[in-house]
Amino acid sequence: MSKKILIATDKPFASEAVKGIKNVIDQAGYELVLLEKYTEKQQLLDAVANVDAAIIRSDIFDNDVFEAAKQLKIVVRAGAGFDNIDLEAATSHGVCAMNTPGQNANAVAELAFGLAVYAVRNFYNGTSGTELAGKKLGIHAYGNVGRNVARIAKGFNMEVYAFDPFLSAEAIEKEGVKAVKTVEELYSTCEFVSLHIPATAETKNSINYELLNKLPKKALLINTARKEVINEAEIVKLMEDRIDVKYVTDILPSNHAEMAEKFAGRYFSTPKKMGAQTAEANTNAGIAAANQIVDFIKNGNECFRVNK
């Protein structure tokens, strides 16, 4: 019998993405089932009952969903984060859970430069700004987004440095980026620092006064990572003490009102996380999810598995 692949999205993919996914599913000889804009959990429970695979976005896959999905072998979150999937429940029901890392990385990287140019041109207030060319950019975490930031930074003629304790210096330097040994070295060397660390026990609150105070004069911190990594109280103190420092972020801080009031002209936040919000990222992630499902069913490839 043909395999059934469900797309379950309460916030649907763009129609281009659905077309691309359907194409991959058709070519594999499988059947596509579409559940979009559902409003009740029961609709999701009914839809998963007889499918072999599911592609989701921020849809919640909890124990009830896995309980109802008797045939399900794989669920793929089209996107990077996967905290909407109960990984333990997936494992206990014998389901492989995956994400699609890297598919939105270029979108996020481009936004980092949008924010950087906006900041160095004084938020387009009509006054004379500075350029990115010739400046030192420090990439804090050299993963999928960090790598794309490095690629674009070279086009801006920036001098690119990176710190990532999980990668060898050779792996970073073969891409024409200078690897630094410590995070302190990154911050004391670069007047531009772009954050790409995940929020982990180790990184939460780690961008603090002591670290930021190592930045050279007229520094800019760009955050397209997570707000949890910033020590919000200490960045306020730092920006009070260092009137030369600017901060731009794609992740609205908890203390946004205070930041906006105290640091007008040196601080900007997007109102809502926008890094991955592009038509291309949406389509890429959906199609990657479909390809990963086909590769899993046909070849047993589990390389993007996120549960045990």
Specify the residue for token string 């982990």: 200
Q: Does 115 bind ligand NAD (CB under 6 A)?
A: no
Residues linked to residue 5 through DSSP beta bridges, in sequence order: 32, 53
Q: Which of 101, 102, 100, 132 is nearest to 119 (CA)?
A: 132
Q: How far is the CB of 25 from ligand NAD (least distance, A)?
A: 25
Tell me the two tokens of residue 223.
């955050």
- Binding flag, residue 197, ligand NAD (CB under 6 A): yes
**Residue 211-250 contact track with ligand NAD, rule CB under 6 A, x = bound:** -------------xxx-----------------------x
Q: Which range binds ligand NAD by CB under 6 A, 16-24, 40-48, 162-170, 232-240?
A: 162-170
For ligand NAD, the closer of residues 53 and 235 by Cβ is 235
Say how far apart CA 287 and CA 293 lie, in whole Å. Answer: 10
| Distance in angstroms between the alpha carbons of the first and the last residue of the chain | 28
- Pick out residues in 79-98 that bind ligand NAD (CB under 6 A): 80
User: How many residues lie near ligand NAD (CB under 6 A)?
Assistant: 29
Q: Quick one: which segment of 18-26, 130-138, 196-204, 296-304 binds ligand NAD (CB under 6 A)?
A: 196-204
Sheet hosting strand 192-195, strand order edge to edge: 178-179, 159-163, 136-140, 192-195, 220-223, 246-249, 267-269
Taking residues 39 to 78 in sequence order and writing x for each that binds ligand NAD by CB under 6 A, - otherwise, the string is ----------------------------------------
Does 196 participate in binding ligand NAD (rule CB under 6 A)? Answer: yes
Cβ neighbours for 253, distance < 8 A, ≥ 6 positions apart:
227, 230, 232, 235, 259, 269
